[in-house]
Structure 1
C-alpha cells in the first residue's frame, strides 16, 4: 500500500476557500461586505497578518475590493469577465497544457465563432473582419513581421462579430498564446512568403463565407485553415486527436 504525501495548507488558504464557498452558496453576494478585519480574526482564530494575506489573495483574483483602513470590511465584487480571462491566461501558459490541447480548443473556439459571425455580424463588423484579413496579405513580402499578431487580430474581429462574450473572452486568451505558436511555426518554413500568401487566401475565403451567411461553411473553412497551417509539423498522435474535431466541422484535412 502506498500513501499520498500530506500537503501543507496555510491558514490563509483555508480562509480564502471558505470565503469563496460562502459567495458560491449565496451567503454573500455582489455588493455585500465581509466582516471587518477584527471580526475575521476572531471568527477564524488567526492573526491579523493571516487575514490580510487572505484578503490580498481574494482581491488579486477579483473576488473582493478592499480599502486599507476601512473598518466596514471588504466588498464582494460582481463577477467580471476579466477575472475569467486572467485565470484562463494562467492555465493556457502552463507547461502541462500540450500543443494539441491548445489546437483542439482553438478549433472549437474559432469554428463556432466563425459559424456565429456568419449569421450575427453587422456590416461594420464585416468590414473590420475583411480589413484584418487584408492585413495578413500585406505581410507576404515580409513574413517575419508580427505575422501571429496579424492572424490573431483577424480572428479577434470574427470572435467579436459572433456576439458571444464567452467565445470572445476565451478566444482572446488562447489567441494570445497561439500568436507565439504561429510565429514559431513560421520559422520552420522554407518558403515563408508562400505560407503567408496561403493564409491570406484562406482568410479571404473565410471572409466571403461570413459575408454570404454560409455559417457551416465558415466553420469548416476556419478550422480547416488552422489545421493545415500546422499539419506538416504534427505527429501522428496529434493528427489523430485533431481528426474527430475536423470531421465534426466538415473541414478538409
Structure 2
C-alpha cells in the first residue's frame, strides 16, 4: 500500500486528541486498509492530514506501539509500521499474569492439554502435504539432536513441533494461543532445567502415523498423553486436571 492511498483513508479529527488519531488508525487496521508490514505516513504528513499537532500524532503512535499494534524502525527507511498482530503483547500479558499469580501452573497445564487435543484433532483433518513434510523434518531434526546429546536443541525442536501442529490445524487463533502457551511453558523449563525425555521421539512417530492416516481421535489421545507426561516432568508439583474427550 502506498502512502497516498493510506492518507486518503484518514479524516481530520474534531476534538484533536490523540485518542481520535489512535481510533482512526485502529479502524483502518480493522477494515483491512492497513495490514501487517504497512508503513504509516510520516508524523508531519499525518499531522497535516488530520489537522492535529505533531505532538498529538507522536503521542498516538507511542500509545499504539505500547499496545503492540505498531513498531518503530530507525533510519532513513524507518518510521511507524503495522506490527504482526500483537502476539508479543499477549505473550507479555501472560508473563505478567504468571508473575502476579493470576495464572498458576495447573491453569497452564489445563489450557495446554485442552488446546493440544483439539489442535491435534484439527491437524489430522486439515493438514496438507506441506504441513506433513514440515512435521516429518522436525522429528528428524529432533532425533539428530537427541543422538548428538544436544539437549537445548532437542527442546527447541520439540517446542517447534507444537507450533507446526497448530499451523496444520489452520486456525489462526489456535496458532496464537499455542505459541503463547508453549513459550510460557518454556519459561518453566528454563527455570527448572531441561531434562532428557526418552518418550518424546516415540510419541512424535506415533503422531506422524495418526496424521498420515487422519485418525483424529488417536491423535487427540496421543497429544493428551504426551502433554500430561511432559508437563508432569517439568511441573511435578502441579496437580494435573482431569481433561478427557
- TM-score scaled by structure 1? 0.65
State the match for 1:130 in structure 2: 136
Supply the distance in 1 between the matched residues of 2:184 and 2:71 (Cα, whole angstroms): 29
| Unmatched 5+ stretches in structure 1 | 1-14, 42-47, 68-73
Deviations 1:34-74 (A, max 9, x none): 76488345xxxxxx64652233222454556999xxxxxx9
State the match for 2:86 in structure 1: 84
Counterparts of 1:209-228 in structure 2 under 5 Å? 209-228=210-229
Question: Is 1:39 the counterpart of 2:51 in the alignment?
Answer: yes
Structure 1 54/90 Cα, relative in aligned 2: closer, same or farther at 3 Å? same
* 8 A contact 1:133–1:200 mirrored in 2: yes
* 8 A contact 2:131–2:164 mirrored in 1: yes
State the match for 2:109 in structure 1: 103
CA RMSD of aligned residues (A): 3.8
Rg (Cα) greater in structure = 1
State the match for 1:158 in structure 2: 165
**1:117, distance to aligned residue in structure 2 (A):** 0.9
**1:24, distance to aligned residue in structure 2 (A):** 6.9
Supply the distance in 1 between the matched residues of 2:110 and 2:167 (Cα, whole angstroms): 20
State the match for 2:152 in structure 1: 145
| Unmatched 5+ stretches in structure 2 | 1-16, 35-40, 74-78
Question: Is 1:116 the counterpart of 2:100 in the alignment?
Answer: no
Structure 1 197/140 Cα, relative in aligned 2: closer, same or farther at 3 Å? farther
Structure 1 17/106 Cα, relative in aligned 2: closer, same or farther at 3 Å? farther
**1:219, distance to aligned residue in structure 2 (A):** 1.3
State the match for 2:199 in structure 1: 198
State the match for 1:6 in structure 2: none
Structure 1 19/224 Cα, relative in aligned 2: closer, same or farther at 3 Å? farther
* 8 A contact 1:136–1:147 mirrored in 2: yes
- Number of residue pairs matched by the alignment: 209
* 8 A contact 2:109–2:231 mirrored in 1: no
